[in-house]
Amino acid sequence: MTVAEGTALPRASAAPSRWKKIKASLEIFANSKIALVGLVLVGFWVIVAIFADDCTFRPTSWVGCLTGEREAYDQTTPWLARYSPVEQFSGEQLEGPSAKHWLGTDGRGRDLWARLAHGARIILLLAPLSIVVALIVGGTLGVVAGYYGGMIDEVTMRILDALMAFPQIIIYLVIVATFGPNIINIVLAITIAGAPGIARLVRSLTLDIKTRDFIAAAETRGESPWYIMFVEILPNARGPITIDAMLRIGYAVFAIGTLGFLGLGLPPPSPDWGSIVNLGRRFIQSGHPWDALWASLAIAMLVVGLNLMADGFNEESQRYR
């Protein structure tokens, strides 16, 4: 059968671009009221962390501001925080909320709002960084074990099962107490504690996806196993992995706060939220609950916001399946 002259042949529908996929994901997220509430809670602290002072726009001060070094704060200009988190106001110790100090002051006369604002910068950098490293390690182990199977799968999973047998708080304490409280060791502890769970999730997704027709087609084309794992399998598993990562960032926030409360967070005078709770709890019975109260609410607000974002995105994405 011939095609009539001048008749246009139907064109194959083009695959959606990367930007269209991102737009579709954002639309799914925006349709969830639960996720938007979580975004507001998290977004508040993100804005506060970025604009607490002008450290964000001074690359030479980034490391010092992250670790809480006094010299780094001397080089910056307070913005939303109003004061430096290490500045001590003589004669103004343990004051309640006022026009000068919005959330009050701690036992050393330091402004609590300034310490919370700068502490948000620390926790919002450390928690996502820890989970990104855990995703790289756990995701690689999981996709390799799931794709190859056999002895590689068995050995990898048994090692990870052994790590999962230990309570995560024990792993945090052993690593940080052994090697010292600093950024690298905190990230290392959260990575070791979180990677096994991520690996098991990615492995289960890989076992399902590798049976699909497009994986067989890629193998028929002669694509390498690494190409199939990281270009064909992992991108198609990004939905569940993204939701799990949001939840794990919340767990990491809580873990960093716990380490700070136990005295294993960043060393003083770093405005670590956990250490603020620890230092403030001794003043609760004397009528000054503000230190522990505000820092605890900040941790709860951030963790709840991240969980709402994950739950809302998961709930809304289920409707499009």
Give residue-wise pLDDT tens across range 2-43: 444 444 444 444 445 667 766 766 776 677 888 899 999 999
- 192: number of Cβ within 10 Å: 19
- Give 266's pLDDT tier (boundaries 50, 70, 90): confident
Which pLDDT does position 22 carry in this prediction? Answer: 66
Averaged pLDDT for residues 242-271: 90
CATH 1.20.1250.20 fits 29-318, yes or no: no
Domain assignments of the chain as residue spans, ordered by start: 29-318
- Give 285's pLDDT tier (boundaries 50, 70, 90): confident
What pTM does this model have? 0.86
Give residue-wise pLDDT tens across range 62-104: 777 777 777 778 778 889 998 989 899 988 999 999 999 999 9
- Mean pLDDT is highest, among 11-15, 264-268, 275-279, for 275-279
Averaged pLDDT for residues 289-305: 95
Residue 125: pLDDT above 60? yes
Q: Which of 157-166, 202-211, 311-320 has the weakest average pLDDT? A: 311-320
Averaged pLDDT for residues 225-242: 92
Higher pLDDT, 225 or 269: 225
